[in-house]
Structure 1
Amino acid sequence: MSSAVPLVVVRGAALSYRDRRVLDGIDLDLRAGETLALLGPNGAGKTSLMRLVAGRLAPDAGSVRIAGHDPHTMPEARRAIGWVPQDIALYARLTVAENLDVFARLAGLRRAERRAAVTDALDLTGIAEVAGRPVGLLSGGYQRRVNIAASLMARPRLVLLDEPTQGVDLQARAAIHAVLERLRRAGAALLIATHDFAEAERLADRAAFLKSGHIVREGALSDLLARLRDGAPEHEIALSGLAAGPAEAALRRAGFTPVDTGLTWRARPAAGRPTDAAAQLAALRDAGVPVAEIRIRALGLDAVYRDVLGLREPAPSQALADAP
């Protein structure tokens, strides 16, 4: 249950980097027990905004407050924040427990406090079984969970995560999502920068879309999706092989665009095009398209993203992190 009073309040925040304005007029609230997903293309300002909230940068204009305090100038505000960077920020030769003890020391915890904090973080992130193993010998999924655990030493009220599941398999991704759900239920506020729309739909209560340093749309997921879901759904087709030449041309004429590997294509029915899935399947196969199946798909956050950014092509589900 989120608090009525925002834990994070950003008002009119602006930031420039090497004479280029990367954030401009940012207003944002985040409450305890709430998860907010930041979505946008590379260079939109997601990572820069997270650095402002973390207190690692000071805004050129406007303000950032964590529980009423400025995180850039007040250590008590920074102690309320856990930062989980996109890159693994751990000591490969140290064990998991040793890594966490180092981060507990950096957080200023005394010896007795460190032991309790390490034990709690191991339990919360589900990594107690590998506590004695060197981090460098762990899988990428375990390393990412240790990365999260390292941010929890001071029991932060706010956790910032930059692409928390990048490069991990489905099993590790599910384990990381479970960790984030436990943090949320424990009352932490979560701010997650991600290119993964399914991840945002799975974890977030609200989403904010950034474009060229501005928040161009923000709101509860249910409200963001309701507007688009009042219209026609998307047709999604799975191919048995890559489409090339005439087959690709036929798909594009039918309004489809590729997603990810090119074995999945999506389109929204439009005037003059068949809306019956069976008829569409038959027409594409007659045109030589290697269609394995066709599905009716409710619109998701990727469709909101395309609408917000004015894109026709489906947005990629994964990409590199923002520029600063």
Structure 2
Amino acid sequence: MDAGAEPLVSVRGAALAYHGKPVLDGLDCAIRAGETLALLGPNGAGKTTLMRLVAGRLTPDRGSVRIAGADPHREPRARRSIGWVPQEIALYPRLTAAENLGVFAQLAGIGRRERPEAVRHALDLAGIAEVASRPVGLLSGGYQRRVNIAASLIGRPRLVLLDEPTQGVDLNARAAIHAVLARLRAQGTAILIATHDFAEAERLADRVAFLARGRIVREGALPALLARVRAGPPEHEVGLAHKPDPAAESALRGAGFAPADTGLTWRAIHRGETGLDGAALLTALRGRGVPASEVRIRAPGLEALYRDALAPEVAA
């Protein structure tokens, strides 16, 4: 990736409202060829709307969207350079994987003679040649998602947009999808991915952008952002064997912890301020009736960056 090259994707001052309610609010975004940008934010932050703007499915009320200098909403040549992978499976279940790709090749305007090669290339790139002759409706969810991705690659796009590409798939399918995206990036394809999966974003992204209320509240190169947050103290988490009773919950809060998920994981509100090592903290909490099964002390990652970036938005 050439850091000095002009961005392939340029979004400037994009604003969009639905029924008078702002969804995007003066958003700026850029992606270069061969770069993967991960969008992270809560539901309703504007991630999917931004992707639909970039795909040319929507046009902003104000601002501009350009793909290699062209407006994807108005110019077919810009749309042809984009591969769109929606969150929903958009395939014909009674057709085979290869037949599905043949349909998408026809829709993409690929000539009859060129279609077999286009289908073969997409099957190979997505690593699904072994299921080419099987009806999509009989494939596992992971394979269906890979066929869905292959359909977006049929026209050899310069930009691929993916909305939660590994949602609901097992670890093997997830690894296979990540391998597809790594091959695309190595070929110089730009990738924009919306995900709630911090580990996935940390593995795939060159840059991350945190969205809240239709704005990017923080963005930057992932290695630099992680280096900055990891220069501070470590994170402390307590894993519980079962949900705490009121007395145990009070003990956890008194020790500076707050629930992080369904109530079985509690995280220190202020990193590195427990004053105890892991073993001593575990003993102290158990002595106060907390059903602690383990204490985890680790370097902060993308989730810590996310919480820090969105904390002012949550408080607002």
Call closer, same or farther: CA 1:228–1:116 in 2, change over 3 Å.
same
Query: Which residue matches 1:283?
Result: 284
Query: Which residue matches 1:86?
Result: 87
Query: Which residue matches 1:132?
Result: 133
Letter in 1 for 2:307: R
Q: Please give the alpha-carbon distance, in whole angstroms, between the structure 1 residues aligned to 2:50 and 2:181.
A: 20
Where do residues 303-314 of structure 1 align in structure 2 (5 Å cutoff)? 303-310=304-311
Contact 1:233–1:269, Cα closer than 8 Å, also in 2? no
Task: Report the more deviating stretch, 19-28 or 266-275.
Answer: 266-275
Contact 1:211–1:309, Cα closer than 8 Å, also in 2? yes
Query: Which residue matches 1:37?
Result: 38
Q: Please give the alpha-carbon distance, in whole angstroms, between the structure 1 residues aligned to 2:259 and 2:47.
A: 26
The alpha-carbon deviation at position 271 of structure 1 amounts to 8.4
The alpha-carbon deviation at position 110 of structure 1 amounts to 0.7
Q: Percent identical across equivalent pairs?
A: 72
Aligned length: 313
Query: Which residue matches 2:247?
Result: 246
Contact 2:67–2:78, Cα closer than 8 Å, also in 1? yes
SS in structure 2 at match of 1:112: coil
The alpha-carbon deviation at position 225 of structure 1 amounts to 2.1
Is 1:223 the counterpart of 2:224? The answer is yes
Q: Please give the alpha-carbon distance, in whole angstroms, between the structure 2 residues aligned to 1:307 and 1:211.
A: 12
Q: Please give the alpha-carbon distance, in whole angstroms, between the structure 2 residues aligned to 1:70 and 1:256.
A: 49
Q: Please give the alpha-carbon distance, in whole angstroms, between the structure 2 residues aligned to 1:237 and 1:121.
A: 45
Query: Which residue matches 1:63?
Result: 64
The alpha-carbon deviation at position 253 of structure 1 amounts to 2.4
Contact 1:233–1:268, Cα closer than 8 Å, also in 2? no
For each residue in 1:216-239, what CA deviation from the matched residue of structure 2 results, as whole angstroms up to 9, or x when unmatched?
Answer: 111011222233222211012333
Task: Report the more deviating stretch, 137-146 or 2-11.
Answer: 2-11
SS in structure 2 at match of 1:15: strand
For each residue in 1:92-136, what CA deviation from the matched residue of structure 2 results, as whole angstroms up to 9, or x when unmatched?
Answer: 111111111111111000122211111111111111111111111
Query: Which residue matches 2:202?
Result: 201
Where do residues 4-19 of structure 1 align in structure 2 (5 Å cutoff)? 4-19=5-20
Q: Please give the alpha-carbon distance, in whole angstroms, between the structure 1 residues aligned to 2:295 and 2:58.
A: 48
SS in structure 2 at match of 1:310: helix
The alpha-carbon deviation at position 293 of structure 1 amounts to 2.2
Query: Which residue matches 2:74?
Result: 73
Contact 1:232–1:268, Cα closer than 8 Å, also in 2? no
Q: Please give the alpha-carbon distance, in whole angstroms, between the structure 2 residues aligned to 1:2 and 1:133.
A: 41
The alpha-carbon deviation at position 201 of structure 1 amounts to 0.4
Q: Please give the alpha-carbon distance, in whole angstroms, between the structure 1 residues aligned to 2:27 and 2:271.
A: 36
Task: Report the more deviating stretch, 288-297 or 265-274.
Answer: 265-274
The alpha-carbon deviation at position 277 of structure 1 amounts to 1.9
For each residue in 1:52-109, what CA deviation from the matched residue of structure 2 results, as whole angstroms up to 9, or x when unmatched?
Answer: 1001111111111101111010000000000000011111111111111111111000
Where do residues 90-239 of structure 1 align in structure 2 (5 Å cutoff)? 90-239=91-240
Q: Please give the alpha-carbon distance, in whole angstroms, between the structure 1 residues aligned to 2:222 and 2:271.
A: 25
For each residue in 1:13-51, what CA deviation from the matched residue of structure 2 results, as whole angstroms up to 9, or x when unmatched?
Answer: 111111111111111110111000001111111011001
Letter in 1 for 2:300: L
Q: Please give the alpha-carbon distance, in whole angstroms, between the structure 2 residues aligned to 1:265 and 1:277.
A: 14
Call closer, same or farther: CA 1:100–1:272 in 2, change over 3 Å.
closer
Call closer, same or farther: CA 1:168–1:272 in 2, change over 3 Å.
closer
Letter in 2 for 1:221: L
Q: Please give the alpha-carbon distance, in whole angstroms, between the structure 2 residues aligned to 1:174 and 1:271.
A: 33
Call closer, same or farther: CA 1:268–1:2 in 2, change over 3 Å.
farther
Q: TM-score, normalised by structure 2?
A: 0.94
Letter in 2 for 1:13: A
Letter in 2 for 1:203: L
Q: Please give the alpha-carbon distance, in whole angstroms, between the structure 1 residues aligned to 2:213 and 2:177.
A: 30
Letter in 2 for 1:23: L
For each residue in 1:169-225, what CA deviation from the matched residue of structure 2 results, as whole angstroms up to 9, or x when unmatched?
Answer: 122111111111111111100000111111110100000111111111110112222
Task: Report the more deviating stretch, 285-294 or 236-245.
Answer: 236-245
The alpha-carbon deviation at position 312 of structure 1 amounts to 11
The alpha-carbon deviation at position 294 of structure 1 amounts to 1.7
Q: Please give the alpha-carbon distance, in whole angstroms, between the structure 1 residues aligned to 2:224 and 2:269.
A: 20
Q: Please give the alpha-carbon distance, in whole angstroms, between the structure 2 residues aligned to 1:242 and 1:229.
A: 30
Query: Structure 1: where are the runs of 5+ without partners?
Result: 314-324
Is 1:298 the counterpart of 2:289? The answer is no
Letter in 2 for 1:177: H
Query: Which residue matches 1:318?
Result: none
Task: Report the more deviating stretch, 302-311 or 236-245.
Answer: 236-245
SS in structure 2 at match of 1:144: helix
Query: Which residue matches 1:255?
Result: 256
